[in-house]
Amino acid sequence: MLSMLHIENIAVIASADIVFEEGLNLLTGETGAGKSIILDALGAVIGRRASKDLVRTGAHCARVSAVFDKLPALVYDFLEENRFAGPEGDGGLFLSREVSADGRNICRINNRPATVALLRQLGALLLHIHGQHDSQALLDASTHLSALDRFAGTAARLSAYRQAYEKLKSCDRRRLALRMDEEEKARRILHLQYAADDIGAACLLPGEDQELLSRRRLLQNAERLTEALGEACACLAGDEQAEGARSLLSQAARAMADAAALHGDLTELHRRLCDLSFATEDVSASLEQLLDEFDASPGALDEVEERLDVIYRLKRKYGATIDEILRHREACQGELEALQQSERTLAALEAEYAQACEEATALAGELHGERAKAAATMAERVCGELRDLEMKQVRFEVEVNSRDGEGALRKDGSDDVRFLLAANAGEEPKPLSRIASGGELSRVMLALCNVLLDNNEAGAMVFDEIDAGVSGRAAGRVAEKLGRLSRGRQVLCVTHLPQIAAMADTHIRVEKGSAHGRTVTNVQTLDPPGRIEEISRLLGGLNVTDTVRRSASEQIKAADSYKKGLEIS
DSSP 543-555: ---HHHHHHHHHH
* Residue that wins the pLDDT comparison between 544 and 223: 544
254-276 residue pLDDT tens: 888 878 787 878 888 888 888 88
For range 418-430, the mean pLDDT: 87
For range 17-21, the mean pLDDT: 93
* Residue that wins the pLDDT comparison between 471 and 363: 363
Burial of 416 (0-12, 13-18, 19+ CB in 10 A): middle
> What SS3 state is found at 526?
coil
Helix (H), strand (E), coil (C) string for 53-94 = HHECCCCCEEEEEEEECCCCHHHHHHHHHCCCCCCECCCEEE
Q: How many CB atoms lie within 10 A of CB 357?
A: 17
Pick the closest to residue 77 from 133, 129, 125, 22 (CA basis): 125
Cα separation, 246 vs 253, in Å, equals 11
Q: Are 501 and 507 in contact (CB under 8 A)?
A: yes
Cα separation, 328 vs 324, in Å, equals 6
Pick the closest to residue 370 from 413, 314, 406, 336 (CA basis): 413
Strands 105-109 and 93-100, by their bridges, are antiparallel
Reported pTM:
0.62
Q: In degrees rounded to 5, what are phi and psi of residue 537?
A: -65, -40
Any idea what DSSP says for residue 17? E
Residue 531: what pLDDT? Answer: 95
Sign of the CA dihedral running 146, 152, 155, 156: negative
For range 81-104, the mean pLDDT: 84
- Name the pLDDT band for 132 (thresholds 50, 70, 90): low
Residue 291: what pLDDT? Answer: 67
Q: Buried b / exposed e across 161-188, counting CB within 10 Å, b at 16+?
A: beebbebbeebeebbeebeeeeeeeeee
Pick the closest to residue 511 from 488, 479, 543, 534 (CA basis): 534
Pick the closest to residue 469 from 436, 437, 501 (CA basis): 437
Pick the closest to residue 208 from 321, 302, 316 (CA basis): 321
pLDDT exceeds cutoff 60 at 293: no
Residue 93: what pLDDT? Answer: 92
Cα separation, 510 vs 11, in Å, equals 14
304-345 residue pLDDT tens: 888 999 999 999 999 999 999 999 999 999 888 877 777 777
pLDDT exceeds cutoff 60 at 457: no
For range 46-68, the mean pLDDT: 90
Strands 105-109 and 112-114, by their bridges, are antiparallel
Residue 390: what pLDDT? Answer: 82
State CA 450 to chain mean position distance: 30
For range 519-524, the mean pLDDT: 86
* Residue that wins the pLDDT comparison between 108 and 460: 108
* Among the ranges given (36-40, 327-331, 410-414, 554-558), the one the predictor scored with the smallest mean pLDDT: 36-40
For range 52-59, the mean pLDDT: 87
> What's the chain's average pLDDT?
86
Which residues, including other chains, have CB under 8 Å from residue 316's CB and lie 6 or more apart? none
DSSP 457-488: --SEEEEESTTTT--HHHHHHHHHHHHHHTTT
For range 431-440, the mean pLDDT: 73
Cα separation, 494 vs 462, in Å, equals 8
* Among the ranges given (87-96, 103-112, 421-430), the one the predictor scored with the smallest mean pLDDT: 87-96
Residue 108: what pLDDT? Answer: 93
- Name the pLDDT band for 454 (thresholds 50, 70, 90): low
Return left, alpha or beta for 429; rule: phi > 0 is left, psi -120 to 50 is alpha, else beta.
beta
Which residues, including other chains, have CB under 8 Å from residue 470's CB and lie 6 or more apart? 439, 442, 443, 478, 497
Pick the closest to residue 148 from 411, 364, 472, 417 (CA basis): 417
Greatest alpha-carbon pair distance for the chain in Å reads 140
Strands 13-19 and 2-10, by their bridges, are antiparallel
Q: Tell me which range, 140-144, 155-159, 290-294, is most confidently predicted by mean pLDDT.
A: 155-159
Residue 550: what pLDDT? Answer: 94
Q: Are 254 and 319 in contact (CB under 8 A)?
A: no
Cα separation, 205 vs 458, in Å, equals 62
Cα separation, 307 vs 204, in Å, equals 10
Burial of 354 (0-12, 13-18, 19+ CB in 10 A): exposed
Alpha helix (H) residue ranges in 238-341: 245-262, 267-293, 300-318, 322-340
* Among the ranges given (77-91, 97-111, 554-568), the one the predictor scored with the smallest mean pLDDT: 77-91
